[in-house]
Amino acid sequence: MRILVAGANGLAGSAVLRALLDAFPEAEARAQFRGDRGQFVRDPRVAWVRADLTDRTACRSVAEGCDAAVLAAAETGGSTMGTARRTRHLSANAVLDTWLFEALAEAGARRVVYVSTASVYQPFDGAMTEEGLDRNRPPDPSVAGAALAKRHGEALCGFWHEAAGMETVIARPTSLYGPGDAFDPQRSTVVAALIRKAVDRQDPFEIRGDPDVRRDILFADDFGRGVVTMLRRTDIVHDTFNLGAGETVTVGEIGHWACAAAGHRPADIRHGTPGGVASARAVDIGKATRVLDWRPRVSARDGIARTVDWWKENGESWPK
């Protein structure tokens, strides 16, 4: 079996690729990437292919001969970039998903796991279930471009399932973090940003916005396991699953744990002005637990400590 992993050098895609190689020892992986930054898993079963997935011909080339696919390629960024480049997030992601699904259908791929995002949900309080998505209500404005593109991608899953019998399973993860994350301040999410400040021993230590805001953060390896479980469950031909931590943590706790793991005790901790981030992205993972027998294994505190250790070792050479 040949499995395409689109966006295989990104945080999400590389976690999926590692889990896939563990779960399918006889499989071949075609790992698509575009740029030179990121994590490149080295394994004789992996064939790395550079391709711009906004090009229709390139999508046909990478899809050819693949039996299944995990679509983790996306134009991404933190809250600052999400606001500044909303139109790019919308147009690039919508185009690449459109061409990829078409190419996979033409190639005869029978099963696709599509990596969406919990940002597709409208603003809400509490923990959102999969059925709670109201497509008549807009997503949070700070992530509108990427969220609307992912809503489009989810619609493509339904279309190709009905039109071509393609098995399509949708993963809606919360905010991912872990070794190999984007630590560029202009691209990073809250976890990577605070880890970098802690390792750099920033003092005053700044936490953007309200430290009491709660977030649902998921360690990348837990996400990879969840996606591969979806790929393996061939009895599920079209469905959607939230993947999250099952609990929330405050931004202040993330900063505290990052500092503790880095051995940093700032004398002054400051709270900056809100950065336009969404009010809540916690999800209910009960369905994934019941149906897939999946649950996260790495706590937020342990995952942050692991990521701090990785960044301390790789920060000087990490280009992303």
Please give the pLDDT value at position 315: 87
Q: pTM of the entire structure?
A: 0.93
- Token pair recorded at residue 193: 């940003």
pLDDT at 185: 81
Classify strands 2-6 and 28-33 as parallel, antiparallel or unpaired: parallel
Per-residue pLDDT tens, the chain, 320 aa: give them. Answer: 999 999 999 999 999 999 999 999 999 999 999 988 888 999 999 999 999 999 999 999 999 999 999 999 987 655 554 444 567 678 889 999 999 999 999 999 999 999 999 999 999 888 999 999 999 999 988 888 889 999 999 999 999 999 999 999 999 999 999 999 999 887 788 999 999 999 999 999 999 888 988 999 999 999 999 999 999 999 999 999 999 999 999 999 999 999 999 999 999 999 876 555 555 568 999 999 999 999 999 999 999 999 999 999 998 888 65
- What fold does the segment set 2-177+218-243 form as a domain? Rossmann fold (3.40.50)
pLDDT at 38: 83
DSSP class per residue in the chain: -EEEEETTTSHHHHHHHHHHHHH-TT-EEEEEESSS-S-----TTEEEEE--TTSHHHHHHHHTT-SEEEE-------HHHHHHTHHHHHHHHHHHHHHHHHHHHHHT--EEEEE--GGGSPS-SS-B-GGG--TTS---GGGHHHHHHHHHHHHHHHHHHHHH--EEEEEEE-EEESTT----TTT--HHHHHHHHHHTT-SSEEE-S-TT-EE-EEEHHHHHHHHHHHHH-TT--EEEEEE--SS-EEHHHHHHHHHHHHT---S-EEE----S--S---B--HHHHHHH-----S-HHHHHHHHHHHHHHHTTT---
